[in-house]
Amino acid sequence: MPLVTTGMTSSPLLPLPVPRWPHCGEDATSLDPVGCRGHQVPGESLCLAHLAPAARATYLATLSPGDDIDHCGTTFTSPLLSELLNALRDPTSGRAHLGRGRFDGATFSDSAGFEDATFSDVAWFGGATFSADAHFRGATFSADAQFIEATFSAGAWFGGATFSLSPR
């Protein structure tokens, strides 16, 4: 079992649980038999981060502003997140418009730019890891925005963000 070393002590690294969603599994090893925990892209066996460029482009071309997306457990670089948000960009407002956005357990390996994005349904970031700045300036959350157990290792910017719940 791998060890995590901190200072003079070490402890066994606990294995991460198997995700509750259909996951990618790329890069599975004997030490990590689950592999990538990214949610499979609809119609594919891999997550957005592991899709070949042509398959990624095909998937992104199917998206329209306001679509629900589920990228739980996926690892995002800034360019990958930009590709996703650009596919959801409303040509009239110029803002990325997501319906339900699921990013539970996602990892944002560098700056996460959700500036001016509109979430018209629930935005889930539970257990997400933001390794660099997280920018939500000017974002609009029209339903619940959940960041339970999210980890921010740098700045989290919500200036000008709007949080409003529509009556249920």
* Spatial contact of 134 and 156, defined as CB atoms under 8 Å apart: yes
Question: Which tokens sit at 131?
Answer: 């390794």
User: Residue ranges of the chain with pLDDT lower than 70?
Assistant: 1-16, 166-168
- The pLDDT of residue 2 is 36
Residue 123 has a pLDDT of 97
- Asked if residue 37 lies in contact with residue 76, where contact means CB atoms within 8 angstroms, the answer is no
- pTM for the whole thing? 0.87
- Paired tokens of 32: 């990590």
Residue 35 in contact with residue 29, Cβ under 8 Å? yes
Domain ranges (residues) in the chain: 23-163
pLDDT digits 0-9 by tens, 94-141: 999 999 999 999 999 999 999 999 999 999 999 999 999 999 999 999
Predicted local distance difference test score (pLDDT) of residue 17: 78
3 burial (CB, 10 Å; 0-12 / 13-18 / 19+) is: exposed
- What is residue 8's predicted lDDT score, i.e. its pLDDT? 40
pLDDT at residue 97 in the model: 98
